[in-house]
Structure 1
Amino acid sequence: MTRCPLAPSRHRPALGLAALASGVLLALSAAPPAQAARQVATVREILDGNELFVDAKQAKVNQKARTPDVISTKASRGMVAFASGATARINRNSQFKLQSDCFLLTSGQVLVSGPQNTCLPSVKLSSRGTNYLVTVLPDGSTELKVMQGTVTLQPLGPAAASTKWIQPVEREAVRINAAGQVTDRRCLVSRDYNEIVGGSLFTGFEQPLTNFQDLGAFLAGNVPVVGSVLSALSFGLF
């Protein structure tokens, strides 16, 4: 059963990743399935001009990027589709590098839908068919918001060998510092969903997210979003 109610709740105390693994979070017995050794991402949509790049060269719709290519944006937004079936919408001024089992997000904001892992310098976010938002903040920390589904955190670097997979994050916002420590964890509330769905990674896109139907059904049944949002979901615009 999820730890988060559907009603608004207060912030939880800040906890280190070790404390989460040993206390609030329980170790999982098995890791998620491995992804392909070489990732392929296809550009599906470019909005607000043509400033979406693959290895610093202007990209076009249907162009493919492969590990270890770097995908970045300036004033534009965009969307890519992965060979796994997942999709990702990329906000302005964002950058990530395709790696063997994830993409490494180094700046900006990405909305992921489907079975696609995201890596940070210190943590891997493993998705099981999820809709989640990852934002690299100006202070070097990262905010993860899991809208629907689950995401599991796995530390990378020196501590990775001794740290097990931890219980997944579900309908929560998690703040992770540059050292891989979870410094804040709280349940998402209606305002969070309204801000995300009304923001730049939903408005204006024509290509649907991989799991937009699951997200739409969850929002319609559990979160009091505005009527225009539900209307857009019902027409499959997400």
Structure 2
Amino acid sequence: MLLSLPRLPAIAQVNQATIQEILDGDRVFIEQEQATISDSAQFRQTIRTEGETRASITFNNGAAGRLGQNASVTVGQCIEVERGQLLISGPANGCVADFSVAVQGTIYTIEKDPESPQGSSGTLRVLEGNVQLLTGKDKRRATPLQVNQGQQIGITQIGLPGTLRAIPPEEYAEIVNGPLFKDYRESLPNQDKLQGVCQSLYPSYDCASLGVPVASPEPIRGLW
């Protein structure tokens, strides 16, 4: 079910997602057809990865995304996560079950684990910038909840938000060193902001030693 975002800032409509990179195998599909680099999913089509394979995608409005292993997303007014992990950078709204995320341009992840404890639907983590979260069935009456960089929140299957919590520095580093970032050749929009964000969030930590990327004047060919 694709969800509307009537009370949140409007952004350019996402109606196409193009495969940019494929890592750790070739098990990427658009609907039932195996996909290769430069193939595109259109509005309401599903992209999925299987096994160890990961993939990066670009959206027609300039935003970018990355699918983790065994992930499935549907292209629409929001990018709906059906399972697995999705990283989005730029102006693309994400959603899962009964919550939706609206952005103007930020870096965040949405995760939906089909084997998560009963009652749990998904987890939102904001790495850079902030997002507006809407929960519940009736989005027109919902009051947006702001989730800032360095924060995470879980959502139940009935669309109720959990406790807004800080992302520990070790977990932040694990994300930016993990499969959503590792070995990709192309950088994400605003990726060079992550080191500064990390240092402001965790001033007692050496973010470079944690593996968070440092801004560079040279084209980034990979984070680590």
The aligned counterpart of 2:211 is 229
**Match of 1:33, SS?**
coil
The aligned counterpart of 1:51 is 27
Residue 74 of structure 1: which of 43, 50, 55 is its match?
50
Conserved? CA contact 2:177–2:212, under 8 Å: no
> Counterparts of 1:231 and 1:91 in 2: how far apart (Å)?
20
| CA RMSD after TM alignment | 2.0
Q: Give the alignment of 1:90-101 within 5 angstroms.
A: 90-99=67-76, 101=77
The higher relative CO (CA closer than 8 Å, separation ≥ 6) is in 1
Conserved? CA contact 1:56–1:72, under 8 Å: no
1:173 maps onto 2:148 in alignment:
no
Residue 114 of structure 1: CA displacement? 0.9
Residue 164 of structure 2: which of 185, 190, 194 is its match?
185
Residue 233 of structure 1: CA displacement? 5.6
Give the aligned length. Answer: 206
Q: Give the alignment of 1:30-179 within 5 angstroms.
A: 31-36=8-13, 39-75=15-51, 76-99=53-76, 101-137=77-113, 138-139=115-116, 140-157=120-137, 159-179=138-158
Residue 125 of structure 1: CA displacement? 0.7
TM-score if structure 1 supplies the norm length?
A: 0.79
Conserved? CA contact 1:124–1:156, under 8 Å: no
Residue 216 of structure 1: CA displacement? 3.2
> Counterparts of 1:69 and 1:204 in 2: how far apart (Å)?
27
TM-score if structure 2 supplies the norm length?
A: 0.84
Residue 215 of structure 1: CA displacement? 1.9
Q: Deviations over 1:54-84 (max 9, x none)?
A: 0121111111111111000002100000112
Conserved? CA contact 1:128–1:149, under 8 Å: no
Residue 228 of structure 1: CA displacement? 7.1
**Match of 1:227, SS?**
coil
Shift in alpha-carbon separation, 1:50–1:172, aligned structure 2, 3 A: same
Can you give the 5+ residue segments of structure 2 that lack an aligned partner in the other structure? Answer: 1-6
Q: Deviations over 1:82-133 (max 9, x none)?
A: 112111110010101111x111111000111111100112111112211111
> Counterparts of 2:101 and 2:146 in 1: how far apart (Å)?
12
Residue 175 of structure 2: which of 191, 196, 212 is its match?
196
The aligned counterpart of 1:208 is 187
The aligned counterpart of 1:24 is none
More helix by share: 1
The aligned counterpart of 2:4 is none
Can you give the 5+ residue segments of structure 1 that lack an aligned partner in the other structure? Answer: 1-29
Residue 42 of structure 1: CA displacement? 0.9
